[in-house]
Structure 1
C-alpha cells in the first residue's frame, strides 16, 4: 500500500452514533459525580489512569513486559521499586522507561488543562519526553540485518520505516522528505475539526499520525498520547489501550488503513467508557488527615452516608428501575435460548435438562456468590459495587453428564451516586465426575468476561435502546460456550 497524503475525515461506513451516545451519557454521570468528590481523590484517580497508560503503552509496542500483578500494584500505589518488589519485581531500566512515559503524560495533561493547542512543535516535545530514557531502537540495514540504532529524541526520521502487514503486503509510511509538510497538513486539518465529536477526532488524529510515522521509533506511544490530549481538552477521561486489546487495536488500525475508520472509533469509544468507569472508582486508601481507627471509621461512615443520600436523591432509583427492566428481558431471553438449545440437543440426548435461575435486589439471593461476581467484574475491567446486590441470571444445560453454566449479571459500577451499571457474562462447563467418586469436578471456564464482553449503562438510558447491545453480547458468548460444550461432548 503506497503512502498517501493526510486525508480528511471520511464518511463513516459503520454506525458509531449509539456507542458515542453511551460514552457521552456515562461522561455526564461522571462529571456530576466529580462535583461531590474531593479534589485530592480526583487527582489520585487521574494519577492511577496515567500510570496505567504509561505501563501499557510500552507493552503494546513490545518494548518490555510487566507481570499483571506488578502492573496492578504500580497503578494503585505508585511507580516505585518497593511497590513492584512486593509482586515479583521489575528491572530498573523498564521502570525508568515507564517513569519517563508517565512524566510525559503529566506534561501532556498539564498542557490540556492549560488549553495548549496542538502544534508540530508540541508533537516533537512530546516525543522527546516519552523517549527520554530510550537510547536506541531496533533497526534493519539495507541487507536486512538487524542492529541497534541511536534514537534521536524529538527529531524527524531520516530513513523510511515501512512495515509488512499480516497479509504480506507492504504498508508505506510517509517518506522522510515529506514528513514536515504532512505534519503541517495534519495540524491544519485537525484544527478545522473543532465541531467533530472528540472521540472521532481523536481516532482520526491517531490514525493519520500513524500513517505519517514521523519518528524513527516511539510513533505508537506518541499517537496514543495525542489521543489523550484530544480527550482531556474536552474533559473526557484518559483512555488506555492495554495488552488485552492489542490484537483488536492493530486490526482496527489496519481497517483504517483500508479506508474504514469506524472500527477504531468504536474501539476508542469502548475504551473511553472503560476509562470513565475506572475513574468512578473511589481510591482504596485511608485519608491521611484521619488519626486512629475510630476517626478513620467516622470519616468513612460520613462519606458513605453522604454518598447514599446523594444517590437516593439523584440516580439510584432510575438506575434500579433500568436494571429491573433489563433483568426481565434477560431472563426471558435466557429461557427462550434455553428452549431452543434443548430442542437442538434432544436429537442426540432426549434427557437433556434446561433450567434458568435468577435473582435481583432486594431478594437475599441477589447477594449470593459475591466473590464470583467480583471476579466477573474484575475480568470485565471495573470495580463492582455489590452493597445492594446483583441482578443475575443463570442458564443450566445438563446433557450426557456435562453441565453448561451460563451466567449473566447486571452490576453497579463505581461510586453509588454515579448511577452506572455494567452488564456482563460468564460461562463454564462441568465435565462428568470420576466413576465411583462423590466429588463433583470443578467447572472448566469456557467464556470469561472481558471489557468487550460487557455493556456499560447509565441511569438515564432507555432499556429498549440498550437491549440490542445486550443481546449481541449474550448471543456471542452463548454461541462460543455451546461450541465448547459440543466439542467436549465429542
Structure 2
C-alpha cells in the first residue's frame, strides 16, 4: 500500500508539451472562426451533442452500464429520450436516468462557467449530487473484506477509506476521510493559482489531483471527468469525452500522473481536444435574405470583410497545400524504406510475397482515389473530410499467400472550404486476392474499426512540420505494425 500524500501544486512541464499545445491553439482558432459564422442555435446544438456523448461514455468507462455504438450515436444525435433509446436498442429506463443525470450535471457546469463562477466546494458537491441522483447505493468492503451494499450520500464527503489499484496491482491510498475537507479546500486554492496556465494543463492537473483525493464514497471518476470541462469552458475550447475505446490509454496516463509525470495526461487530453475541435469544422448555414436600409449598409461592410477573408482563405489554401505536400513526401519516403524491409522479411515465408507502393497528390487525377476508404477513416476519427480536390495519399500493398493487406495513409483537408486544418489518417483492410489479379479482390475485414489504434494526427497550416513529424511518423509506424499483426493472425 502506497500511503496518501497531500496534493502538490502544478509545476513546470518540460518536453514537447508547449509545441503540442500550440498546435491545439492553432486548431482552436480555426474552430472559433466556424463558430463565429454559425448561428447561436447551431453552436448550442453542437455543444449539447458533445455533452451527451460525454454523459454516455463516462458511465461506460466506470462499467455502470453498456450501450452499443449504434445506440450511442442515436442518443447523441437525437437526444436522451426514451423513444430514441427504445427504437435503437435495449436501454433500460434506469440506465437512461443515470445518463440524463450525468448530462444535467454537465449542463450545470456549463451554466456555472458562463456565469463566470469558478471552482468551489459548493459547486463540486452540487455536481456530485446531480450525477448520483438516481444512484442510491454503492459497493464497498467491510472490515472483514466482504462485499457489501452501502447507501450513497449525494454531495457528502466519504466516511470510509478508499484506494486506487494501479496497473501493477499496488494500492494507492487516497486521502483519509478526516482530511478530505482540508485537502479539497487546498485543491480549490491551488487550482485558482493555475489561472495563467493553459486550459488543458489546468484540466489535467485538476482531474488528477481530484482523483488522488477521491473525496466521495462513489462517483469520483465521473465528477473528475466533468471537472475537466470547467477549464476548457473558461478557455473557450470544445468539451472532450473519454470514450470506451480509450479507457486503457486514459488509465495508463493517470497512472503516469500517479508516478509524478502529468505530461501523458496532458497529451491525452490534447488529443481528445484536437479531435473535438476538428469534428466541428463544418460550414455555417446560408446567410439571411436580402434587405435594405441599415442592413444594406451592414452588407456593404460585410462584403469588404469577406474580400479580406478570401485573401485569408487563399493564404490558408496555399500554405495548407505546401504543408500537406511536405508531409506526404516524408510519408512516402518513410513507407518506401519500410517496404523494402518488409518484402525481404516476408519472402522468407513466401518467395512470391510482394510489397508495392503507390501515391498521388492534387491536382493529379489519381488524388481522387480511395474515396470510400478515406471517408471511412475520417468517420472513425470523427471529422468531416473535404475530398473535393482529392487527398495526398500513399498506398502500401502487401501480398502474401493469396491475401492482400492494403494500408493507406493520407493527408486530408478537414471541414468544408479552406479551414487551414489537415488530418493525417491511417486505414487498413485485408482482402482475398490473387498475387496479380486485382479483379478477384474480396474485402475480408477492416483493421482499425472499433480498435484502440490511434487513428489520426492533426496539422494546422501554421505548423512546423519538423516539430510535428515525430508524432506523424509514430502514428503511421504504430498503425502499420498493428495492421501487419492483424494480417498475420488472419494468415495463421
Q: TM-score, normalised by structure 1?
A: 0.88
1:359 Cα deviation (Å)?
2.5
Deviates more, 1:4-13 or 1:454-463: 4-13
1:141 Cα deviation (Å)?
1.9
Q: In structure 2, what is the Cα distance between the partners aligned to 1:231 and 1:18?
A: 18
CA RMSD of superposed structures (Å): 2.7
Kept in 2, the 8 Å contact 1:52–1:240? The answer is yes
Q: In structure 2, what is the Cα distance between the partners aligned to 1:310 and 1:78?
A: 40
Q: Residue 175 of structure 2 aligns with which residue?
A: 174
Q: In structure 1, what is the Cα distance between the partners aligned to 2:419 and 2:39?
A: 15
Q: In structure 2, what is the Cα distance between the partners aligned to 1:47 and 1:489?
A: 45
1:161 Cα deviation (Å)?
1.6
Kept in 2, the 8 Å contact 1:360–1:389? The answer is yes
Q: In structure 2, what is the Cα distance between the partners aligned to 1:343 and 1:69?
A: 42
1:122 Cα deviation (Å)?
1.2
Q: Residue 243 of structure 1 aligns with which residue?
A: 244
The alignment partner of 1:334 has SS state of helix
Call closer, same or farther: CA 1:54–1:392 in 2, change over 3 Å.
Answer: same
1:155 Cα deviation (Å)?
0.7
Deviates more, 1:87-96 or 1:352-361: 352-361
Cα deviations across residues 271-311 of structure 1 (Å, max 9, x unaligned)?
1111112332469x999x9xxxxxxxxxxxxxxxx999688
Q: In structure 2, what is the Cα distance between the partners aligned to 1:13 and 1:205?
A: 19
Kept in 2, the 8 Å contact 1:391–1:410? The answer is yes
Q: Residue 457 of structure 1 aligns with which residue?
A: 459
The alignment partner of 1:180 has SS state of helix
1:260 Cα deviation (Å)?
1.4
Mark the runs of 5 or more structure 1 residues left unpaired by the alignment.
290-305
Cα deviations across residues 442-466 of structure 1 (Å, max 9, x unaligned)?
3444445767331111122233332
Q: Does 1:134 align with 2:155?
A: no
Q: In structure 2, what is the Cα distance between the partners aligned to 1:480 and 1:71?
A: 27
1:46 Cα deviation (Å)?
0.7
Q: Residue 411 of structure 2 aligns with which residue?
A: 410
1:364 Cα deviation (Å)?
3.3
Kept in 2, the 8 Å contact 1:310–1:417? The answer is no
The alignment partner of 2:34 has SS state of helix
Mark the runs of 5 or more structure 2 residues left unpaired by the alignment.
290-305
Q: In structure 2, what is the Cα distance between the partners aligned to 1:86 and 1:391?
A: 41
Cα deviations across residues 25-60 of structure 1 (Å, max 9, x unaligned)?
111111122221222111111111111111111111
Q: Does 1:44 align with 2:45?
A: yes
Deviates more, 1:273-282 or 1:89-98: 273-282
1:485 Cα deviation (Å)?
4.2
Q: In structure 1, what is the Cα distance between the partners aligned to 2:453 and 2:75?
A: 21
1:361 Cα deviation (Å)?
2.7
Q: Does 1:187 align with 2:196?
A: no
- For residues 15-26 of structure 1, what are the structure 2 equivalents within 5 Å? 15-26=16-27
Call closer, same or farther: CA 1:474–1:123 in 2, change over 3 Å.
Answer: same
Q: In structure 2, what is the Cα distance between the partners aligned to 1:60 and 1:470?
A: 28
The alignment partner of 2:86 has SS state of helix
Q: Residue 335 of structure 2 aligns with which residue?
A: 334
Q: TM-score, normalised by structure 2?
A: 0.88
Q: Residue 275 of structure 1 aligns with which residue?
A: 276
Q: In structure 2, what is the Cα distance between the partners aligned to 1:80 and 1:362?
A: 47
Q: In structure 1, what is the Cα distance between the partners aligned to 2:246 and 2:196?
A: 29
- For residues 461-472 of structure 1, what are the structure 2 equivalents within 5 Å? 461-472=463-474
- For residues 43-442 of structure 1, what are the structure 2 equivalents within 5 Å? 43-281=44-282, 312-313=313-314, 315-431=316-432, 440-442=441-443
1:328 Cα deviation (Å)?
2.3
The alignment partner of 1:237 has SS state of coil
Q: In structure 1, what is the Cα distance between the partners aligned to 2:243 and 2:15?
A: 24
For residue 477 of structure 2, the aligned residue among 471, 475, 478 is 475
Q: In structure 1, what is the Cα distance between the partners aligned to 2:44 and 2:354?
A: 53
The alignment partner of 2:156 has SS state of coil
Kept in 2, the 8 Å contact 1:409–1:423? The answer is yes
